[in-house]
Structure 1
Amino acid sequence: MSLNTLPKTELDLEVLLARKEVVADGVVRLTLRHPEGEPLPPWEPGAHLDLVLRPDVVRQYSLCGDPGDRSVLQVAVLRQPEGRGGSQLVHDELSDGDRLRIRGPRNHFGFVKSKRYLFIAGGIGITPIMPMIAAADARGADWRLIYGGRTSTSMAFRDELAQKYGDRVTAWPQDEHGLMDLQALLGKPQKRTAVYCCGPERLLTAVQELCRFWPSGALHFERFTPKQGADSGERTEFEVELAQSGLTLTVPEDRSILQVVEDAGVPVLSSCQEGTCGTCETSVLDGVVDHRDSLLSDDEQAANDTMMICVSRACGRRLVLDL
């Protein structure tokens, strides 16, 4: 089955916005319910949802509630004045009682079992980390959270986390303490410790650099925006063969595989179109991929068996995809 076929655990349905509430400066939490009160799909820590805000406005938000509560799904949304308009639509136009469509859940930030965890969150990056902390605590694992933000009042769920988990949580508002001391946290590699990080690109880049000498596979992270230079390579024309559809298409240097495939009438799930959400992930049957996504790990890219067709291209003259 192609990765781009909706799996049974993923849904596409209309939900009810049961509650919209402010949880920090510039951050609102949305609580979504099934209109008929039916259970919503299962999910695991690290998963995200697509919110279909308008036919042409689809955005991804990490689930931040309790995976054990099938009655609701919760996401938190940061207002981004310099963004593409989705967060402003959420903040300014959505109200309690509104209906909107969702797709998912989908998970590219899976939570692994480990003896110890070090969680590092920056700003709205706390959202996928919260269910992971709850799972680690329930397992009796040794864990610690370092949570940074611009100011105390901009840090969603800060008080809730501190009250529930006490001194395992270190809040680090930048206006009070400066930047997080990542060298002290990560300068000495630790065995049997999983590092989970989510936040702005500057934080992720610094954490990746410091984790170069940690055991392989210790670092797990998720980006909200493309990594710097991800789509900066040379762009050349190539052919793509769609094995299921029986089509061979030419992808010119100024267009993506996704655009060409959609123009040919082949339906493909897609959303961010910048290589961060994973919606358009497609199996590769032959050819070498020029990976330009900001989602797959180095090992996953090296395996050459899947790609994000919204940004990634071919290293050679031809690719064969399971579409």
Structure 2
Amino acid sequence: MAMKEVTVTDIVYETPSIVSIYLALPDGTPIGHYVPGAHIDVEGPTAITRQYSLCGRPDGDDAYVVAVKREEASRGGSEALHTLKVGDTLKISEPRNLIGIEEEASHHILIAGGIGITPMHSMARYMDVRGISFELHYFASSEEEAAFLPILREKCPEKLHTHLGISREEQTAVLQEVVKNAPEGSHAYLCGPEGFMEKVTTILSTRFTDEEIHFENFHAAEIDESGNTAFVVELEGEEYDIPADRSIVEVLNENGAEIDTSCEEGICGTCIMSVLQGTPEHRDNVLTKGEREANETMAVCVSRTRDPKLVLDYF
């Protein structure tokens, strides 16, 4: 995916561990609008590329804003971004969405855990100024660690429900009550740590269908590759052997396929292709349960196949 150069124009500490980074075009021209809930790839100072939700005003065009939490177990991405200074340059991708607002929904339930507030912040601000029906449930360990809490309290206090420092049992009770009171026609959106999202998804599934649950997950799934086997992929009439130790996208791009990639961990959706024949073995964290069961698309950076052959096409 093509990357463009941007300049850091401002840095704001939202909490002791979360920093907002403002990114603008070097020549000062408008950077453009984006759809609420969108994210971008950011190539940091150490050349590591990670995905970050845009959390500023979707209809503003002076700068993109990403919020980055310094992670103790960081592989280098978040720690490096915390060393940035105003005037530094980075490379970013164009915005894209995994968690856009469902237009047919009559009500929207936003659920954020910790740093998962980033996409929910832009979605809440967008819906609030347009009179779209929503509620935001924000779970955080403490008020000090709750990024964007002051502005959310200022801009949409009646729609905001904060749940700070509560136990796991209390979290479950709150979420069950949210599900119980959800108006007909509601859709739910969630983002947060992996364990939190698993809990929320399980509780939501007691009432909501897979199509009514939307999520953003930037955590790569742990994959056991010990049982990998070789198989064949056909693309536009040509067949390619995929060895057990290589991915589909590696082999196809090596042979001139020009499939866009970004994370190469199954979390961004850039490399999704259409499946014309065969049964994928899905290993991504992008497709919904319904999309996986349909087997009409797959993320070719990590997923493989249960059959000897797959027939693919561009998505």
Q: Give your verdict on TM over 0.5.
A: yes
Within 1, Cα distance between the matches of 2:192 and 2:123?
Answer: 15
1:225 and 2:216 aligned: no
Structure 2 residue aligned with 1:3: none
Q: Structure 1 residue 190: deviation in Å?
A: 4.2
RMSD across aligned C-alpha pairs, in angstroms?
2.3
Is 2:228–2:245's contact at 8 Å kept on the other side of the alignment?
yes
* Structure 1 unaligned regions, length at least 5: 1-5
Structure 1 residue aligned with 2:251: 260
Within 2, Cα distance between the matches of 1:103 and 1:37?
Answer: 18
Structure 1 residue aligned with 2:97: 107
Amino acid at match of 1:32: L
1:150 and 2:141 aligned: yes
1:77 and 2:71 aligned: no
Within 1, Cα distance between the matches of 2:180 and 2:198?
Answer: 15
Within 1, Cα distance between the matches of 2:67 and 2:150?
Answer: 16
Is 2:57–2:126's contact at 8 Å kept on the other side of the alignment?
no
Within 1, Cα distance between the matches of 2:45 and 2:19?
Answer: 19
Distance change >3 Å, CA 53–CA 192, structure 1 → 2: same
Amino acid at match of 2:206: F
Is 1:189–1:211's contact at 8 Å kept on the other side of the alignment?
no
1:203 and 2:196 aligned: yes
Structure 1 residue aligned with 2:177: 184
Structure 2 residue aligned with 1:242: 235
Structure 1 residue aligned with 2:29: 38
Map Cα deviations across residues 52-72 of structure 1 (whole Å, 9 max, x no partner).
225841111001111111221
Structure 1 residue aligned with 2:279: 288
Within 1, Cα distance between the matches of 2:45 and 2:62?
Answer: 24
1:15 and 2:1 aligned: no
What is the DSSP-based 3-state SS (H/G/I as helix, E as strand, rest coil) of the residue aligned with 1:152? coil
Structure 1 residue aligned with 2:53: 62
Q: Structure 1 residue 173: deviation in Å?
A: 1.9
Map Cα deviations across residues 169-199 of structure 1 (whole Å, 9 max, x no partner).
122222xx33423222225664111111110
Is 1:285–1:305's contact at 8 Å kept on the other side of the alignment?
yes
Q: Structure 1 residue 208: deviation in Å?
A: 1.3
Is 1:224–1:276's contact at 8 Å kept on the other side of the alignment?
yes
Is 1:199–1:224's contact at 8 Å kept on the other side of the alignment?
no
Amino acid at match of 1:166: P
Within 1, Cα distance between the matches of 2:192 and 2:43?
Answer: 23
Map Cα deviations across residues 264-323 of structure 1 (whole Å, 9 max, x no partner).
454433222221111222233433222111111122223333211111111211123336
Aligned length: 308
Greater alpha carbon shift after TM alignment, 80-89 vs 129-138:
129-138
Is 2:3–2:92's contact at 8 Å kept on the other side of the alignment?
yes
TM-score by length of 2: 0.89
Within 2, Cα distance between the matches of 1:117 and 1:149?
Answer: 20
Structure 1 residue aligned with 2:307: 316
What is the DSSP-based 3-state SS (H/G/I as helix, E as strand, rest coil) of the residue aligned with 1:166? coil
Amino acid at match of 2:61: R
Structure 1 residue aligned with 2:114: 123
**Percent identical residues:** 36
TM-score by length of 1: 0.87
Is 1:49–1:106's contact at 8 Å kept on the other side of the alignment?
yes
What is the DSSP-based 3-state SS (H/G/I as helix, E as strand, rest coil) of the residue aligned with 1:213? coil
